[in-house]
Structures are given as structure tokens and as C-alpha cells.
Structure 1
Amino acid sequence: MVDYIKELKKRFKVATDLETRERYSKDYGFISPKLSKFRKIADAVVWLYSEEEIKEFFKIQQDYHFYIVERGNGTNTLGGAMPIKEKSVIVIPEMKKFEVLNGKLISDPSVEFNDLDVSSLPVYPTSFNMATIGGFVAGGSLGIGSLKYGAVWDNVNMIKVVNQKGEYTFYDNDVKKVVQSAGTVGIITKIGFRLIKRDKIVVKNYKFKKVGDAINKALDLIDEAEFISIRSKEMAYNISNENWDNWNLIVGFPGEDGKPVTSADIITTFAGAYFTVVNKKKVSYYSVDVKIEDLEKLDKIKGMIDCELARSQGKLFSHTYFLGFSEIPLQNEKVFNLHSYKINDRVEEDRLKKIIDFKKVVDPEDYINPGKIEY
């Protein structure tokens, strides 16, 4: 047994058996064969139960120079919790306290969305029935509610992180130094999340021959909608067997006039639609963030297409999935690379700069989730 594992076992709960190491050395990135081939099996899995233990853990890391991969419940589909280097240790924070204080949620990282009232959260992940809030903040982006309320980084207003250099607490716009950093700048120990009052959501469907008509109707409804999807006939049929037209608009509204939405519906038929179809059909998949004014180009493209309207930093766009294509059919749009473990291939440039600048200060040798960010 290598020396650093002996040292970790003296102080923390540690597992080194192969079954446990294999189980925790992956996340839902396994759906991408391009990601899976980079996976390494960690040398150990370590559970940490307090901020003090996390600080002590980093002291040992500084002595032995092993790599650290932080993990929540492993629901990320982008390889964020997957080691890609030898001599790696999976770290699982087991901190699960939360409270509502002055109108915002103050949460430890390992709190599961199942333990929260998600109706009070402005945005939450499609994997909310399994995910932790720390995992979502570290590796998530959009989600349920992002059309109306923005992405995760628009709704986190405080974050605390511990790394080799110490502890850091950021507020408001500075939280972008940590949010969506995929655990590359430290272990998150506390999160402040703003809260809202959300009414019950119902769904209405609208059917069109032309994608332009679907877009115009979506824009008419944009101010009142909680979520909006525009789907090609081929995509819509793979979600539910109805009499769909060429282009179909699925809109979630607050209120009573429409079909009620269950949690299962949200996961399988709305925001998690691409994951549902990829699992069912075992097809290739790509994601592109398309400008609203460019969506009409889709009329010339045939196949499974799913447009999820969203906002990030106040900007409206379509988070668009192409399933079953041999290559990305739209050019000159921002690719949200679902087959890369590097956050550079997803994060907006202004936010990426904040993460990189912080990374250079606290982890210049790239020990924390190594290889997941180029800087």
C-alpha cells in the first residue's frame, strides 16, 4: 500500500477495494464512449465529514502530491467526477446541513435535492431526484427554470471553497470563480442559493409546419413560460407517441389550464429528453447553443432535434440537441461539447477567465481534478 493511502487511512474513512474504487471512479459520462475511454480507476475513495477534515486532507495532499477528484452523487454527464490521471483519490464530502436564512438557502454541498423543496429553487437539474446541490453547482449549467430565472451561476449568491491555499468565500458575481468549475479550484463547503415562490406548472403543446411559426409562438409566450421546448417530429415521436407535426412547441406555464407535470415527466419528457432518447436509441448526440435568430435554419435539417430555450447572464438562446447525426449540422454556433471533460469546451469566455485566474492562484500545478481545465 502506498504511503499516502496509509496516511489517509489513519485519519479518515477510506475504501481501497476494487469494487468501491470502480463504482466511484465514474459518473453519467459513461453514456459517451468518447469520454469513457479516458477513465482511470482511483487509488482510494475518501469520505470527509467536516470542513476541518477537508483542510486536514489538503495538508496530506501537499505532503504526498496525489491528485484529487471531488464527487457528489455522480449524475454529471460530462466526466466531471471521473479521474483521468493515475494516483488519484476520489473525495466525497459528507456534509448535509441546510437552512433558509434571510430568504435564501444556505446549504452544505452534499445536500440532495430530494431533501429540498425544489419548487422554491429558481433552477435545478434534470437529475434532481439523484443529484446533490454541490455537484450541480460545481458541474451543472442550465436546468429546470433556466429560461425564466437563468443558469445556476445566475442564482448562486454565495459560495465557500477550500483548497491547498486555504478557504475562500465569494459573493454575487465573484461566485463565477467557482460555479461550473468542475471541482478544479477546490472542494465546495457552503452554498448560498436564492429562493423563489413557484406556482404549480402545467404543459400545453402547439404544432406547426414551419419552425419559424413555432419560434414566433414561443417568443409570444416567453414572458409567462416556465420552460419552452421546440422539437422536430422525429424527436417528439421518440418522447411520446402523439400526432405530432413537423415542429412542435412544448410550453410549461404556472397555473391550472393545461396538463399537470409530474417529476417523472420533467426528467423524461422535458429537460431530460435528450438523455432519455440517447439511452433508448443509443444514438450519437451533440449540443449547440444557437442564437434565437438562427433557429429558422433548422427547417432545412431533418432528424431528431430538441431546442431548449434558456437564459444565461440575461441572454436568451436555444440549448439545442442534435441526435443521430454523424456531425454537427449547424456551423458558426457555440458548441456545448458533451463529449469533452474540459470545461473550456462549455463555459462562456468571461466566466472561464474568472475560473482560470482563480485556478492559477490556488492550484497552479493542477492537482485538483487535473486535466479538466486548460489554463
Structure 2
Amino acid sequence: YGQAMPLSGGVVLNLAEMNAVQAIAPGRVVTGPGAVLAEIDKATRAHSAQELRMSPSTYNTASIGGFVAGGSGGVGSIRWGGLRDLGNVIRLRTVTMEAEPRVMELTGEEVLKVMHAYGTNGIITEVEMPLTASYDWIDVIVGFDDFMDAAGFGNDLAIQDGILAKLITPIAAPIPYDYFKRHQKFFRREQSIVVCMIAPHAIDAFVAFVKSGKGEIVFRADQEADLKGLPPAYELTWNHTTLRAIRVDPTITYLQARYPSPDHLAHVKAMVDRFGDEVPAHLEFIRFDGAIGAAGLPLVRYTTEERLDEIIRIHEDNGCWIFNPHRYTLEEGGMKRTDDVQLAFKRETDPQGLLNPGKMIAWENPDYDYRSSKSFLFKGLQKAG
């Protein structure tokens, strides 16, 4: 997406040193925007056995301000939904880009004005997030001979009300064997997997649930004698799946998809049958408006830009939504329409258009046709160097 990549030179604000964990209370934490998610959890666990509701797979390096300004969900979304769901961000303090800057406190639905806006309409200087009970989550990987069996297991696990899971990630063969090098010894090449994080008090129920289906537990962190060198389970999932694949095969790319519920498994199967190993499947089960759904981050064995565009069109023609990570604008990487609330807020807080120029099409070209097959080209684009 290139969310923070400058398109026209200028100044890059580095807020990494604004990283203090300022206050912890039951159900909430207040931090600076530069606080790293793992460091926030370290503080809240020590203080009162609490943790953030959700985080990206870049948990150990990502800042909370960056997550709010550019993220959408992650590990924990199976219980808590998306980052933009009301209540998943409590308060944001922002500073405007005006001749006389203002400090604004946004709460309730007002936080949506700047969330996932790539910093185009305000500088986030303080974040207040909700917390939930922390657990010593157990990493478990379940193997399957067929990917759709893995997907079905993930869906069935997601609706088990009594089994507390933080992560449910089906991944098609041969991705795990070919690209998860440190875990490779646990898989067969033809084996698809489901990566899970399970609460300790739910592990026995989880094991019983696995035994009732077609899978087998191939890795369980609490029973593994030597975990040295093994990344945590979440670093096999979400965007880390693609990251690990690219490290082995730099020609790999990916897409982001959403398969409409309640028929999400049927949509997944249609795409798996259509593309096979050209687009190896990767799902993340998450909660949408109280119901279980499936997001996809399928890998793509890239050949040409034309073929990539064709793969996108086939998904969309079959009712699958694509959020295109190969576009640098909010609209093209999202729902392909103007967010009128964020646009109006930019007019108020950044009247000269100085914040992250070129990332909001609605500001640059209000008459742009989002149905165009061509990508938006920002007129102010400058080549580095």
C-alpha cells in the first residue's frame, strides 16, 4: 500500500520516541503513538494481567499509531472484529495542519475520521485503546490432507463458543512446507495447516475438538521440548505469511480478499478450484458484525501485471471483494469509493493538503471514476533521487 511513502518529497514525521505508556486502568491503556504493541502488552500484563484486543503480525515492531492509521485488524479479530468496529479504539488525540494548529480529542464514532486514513487528515499524538484479559496463549498447528477440510475446520472452530481462540488461520499446501522454514520439520509438503492460538484453559477442549474431525495436531508449543529459533505462531500468519514466502521466492506477491458471508466457504472453494496452485489460499477467520467470516490473503505466483489484474477481476466477478495492496491510494486499496467523512475532516484539518499528499483521490480529483481499470496517478508524483 505504501501508506507512509512520500510521493512528493517533504518532511517525514518520526514519532517513534513518543512511546510512553502513560496510563493503565481496567479495560484501557493510554500511550503515545510510537509505543510498540509488544511493549504495550508487556506493561499491561505486568500491571494487571491485561493485553490489547488485537494486533498485526508485526506485533514486535509495529507502533500503535501506525496500526490505528493504517491497520484493519489482526490477531484477536476472531473475537473482537475489525479495528474500525466501534469500541476497538477509545480515543485519539490529533493535531491539525493549519496556520494555527489545534489539538483535537476524538472519541466514539469520531475516531473513524482518522482511522485507516494513512495520516492524510491529522497527526495522531496520543492513543487510548481497550484491553482484555491476557493469557499465556498456546500455539498449535493442525495438519490436513485437503485445504477445504482445513478451511471447514477453521470455520467450525470459530463458532465454538466455549473454546477461546485468538487466531485461526488456514493455509494451503505447499506454503507451510516451502516457506515456513523453521517449522518445516513438522509438515509434509502436501499438507495444509490451520495455525491457532488457544487459551490454556481451553486446550483440552480444543484437542477433543480436533480429534472429532479430519485433522491432526502436528505442533503444540507447550509440548515441544525445544522452541529455540521457532517464531511465534502469529508470525506465520496475516502479512507474515507473504513475508516468509517472499524471502524464499521473491517473485511471489499477494492479494487481500473478503469472501462474503454466510457462504464464505463456497466462495473460497470456487477460487481454490479456479486457480489452484497459481493462487495458494490463505484465510484469516474474523468476526464481522457479530458473525464469523473469512478474509483472505492469498499468495499469487506472479507472471504479468495483466494476469494479476485478471485474477482480481475473476475474484470480483465471483462476488469476492479485493482490497488491492498494489495501489497507494486509500480508495483503490479499500472499497473503491470516497469516504465522505474522512474527506470532510481533511478539509477542516488540512486545508492546504499538506498531509501525505497523493494518497486520498477524493482530495486530488473529486471527479475520479473508481470504475476505471487504470490506477490513479498523482500529478505531484516525484521520483526519488
Structure 1 length-normalised TM = 0.71
- 2:182 counterpart of 1:259: no
Kept in 1: contact 2:27–2:131 (CA 8 A): yes
Structure 1 residues 206 and 99: alpha-carbon distance in aligned structure 2, compared to 1, 3 A threshold: same
- 2:184 counterpart of 1:184: no
Kept in 2: contact 1:160–1:170 (CA 8 A): yes
Offset at residue 363 of structure 1 (A): 2.1
Kept in 2: contact 1:211–1:298 (CA 8 A): no
Give the match for residue 370 of structure 1.
357
Kept in 1: contact 2:140–2:221 (CA 8 A): no
Amino acid at match of 2:197: G
Give the match for residue 54 of structure 1.
none
Offset at residue 246 of structure 1 (A): 5.4
Q: 1:122 is matched with which residue: 53, 65, 75?
A: 53
More strand by share: 1
Amino acid at match of 1:227: L
Q: 2:94 is matched with which residue: 144, 161, 185?
A: 161
Give the match for residue 2 of structure 2.
79
Structure 1: distance between partners of 2:110 and 2:355? 20
Offset at residue 109 of structure 1 (A): 0.9
Kept in 1: contact 2:331–2:338 (CA 8 A): no
2:93 aligns to what SS in structure 1? strand
Amino acid at match of 1:331: H
Give the match for residue 14 of structure 2.
92
Kept in 2: contact 1:113–1:133 (CA 8 A): yes
- 2:176 counterpart of 1:236: yes
Amino acid at match of 1:116: I
Kept in 2: contact 1:210–1:247 (CA 8 A): yes
Kept in 2: contact 1:287–1:336 (CA 8 A): yes
Give the match for residue 65 of structure 1.
none
Offset at residue 216 of structure 1 (A): 2.3
Structure 1 residues 206 and 244: alpha-carbon distance in aligned structure 2, compared to 1, 3 A threshold: farther
Give the match for residue 142 of structure 2.
206
Give the match for residue 235 of structure 2.
268
RMSD of Structure 2 on Structure 1 (CA)? 2.6
2:361 aligns to what SS in structure 1? coil
Q: 1:193 is matched with which residue: 129, 141, 147?
A: 129
Q: 1:289 is matched with which residue: 238, 257, 275?
A: 257
Matched residue count: 297
Give the match for residue 215 of structure 2.
none
Structure 2: distance between partners of 1:208 and 1:128? 28
Superposed CA offset, 1:46-74 (max 9, x none): xxxxxxxxxxxxxxxxxxxxxxxxxxxxx
Q: 1:227 is matched with which residue: 164, 167, 180?
A: 167
Amino acid at match of 2:242: Y
Amino acid at match of 1:81: A
Structure 1: distance between partners of 2:104 and 2:114? 10
Larger CA deviation: 335-344 vs 253-262: 253-262
Amino acid at match of 1:253: I
Structure 1: distance between partners of 2:5 and 2:149? 42
- 2:229 counterpart of 1:305: no
Give the match for residue 7 of structure 1.
none
Amino acid at match of 1:157: I
Superposed CA offset, 1:324-352 (max 9, x none): 23323642122222222212123457993
Structure 2: distance between partners of 1:137 and 1:201? 24
Give the match for residue 21 of structure 1.
none
Q: 1:150 is matched with which residue: 61, 81, 106?
A: 81
Structure 2: distance between partners of 1:268 and 1:353? 35
Structure 1 residues 286 and 340: alpha-carbon distance in aligned structure 2, compared to 1, 3 A threshold: same
Structure 1 segments unaligned to the other structure (5+ residues): 1-77
Give the match for residue 69 of structure 1.
none
Structure 2: distance between partners of 1:106 and 1:299? 43
| Structure 2 counterparts to residues 15-54 of structure 1, below 5 A | none
Superposed CA offset, 1:257-316 (max 9, x none): 571388932353233111111132102312232312411114313223322222355462
Percent of paired sites with the same residue: 23
Amino acid at match of 2:172: S
Give the match for residue 382 of structure 2.
none
Structure 2: distance between partners of 1:311 and 1:184? 28
Kept in 2: contact 1:305–1:323 (CA 8 A): no
Structure 2 length-normalised TM = 0.70
Structure 2: distance between partners of 1:352 and 1:313? 20
1:264 aligns to what SS in structure 2? coil
Give the match for residue 339 of structure 1.
326
2:232 aligns to what SS in structure 1? helix
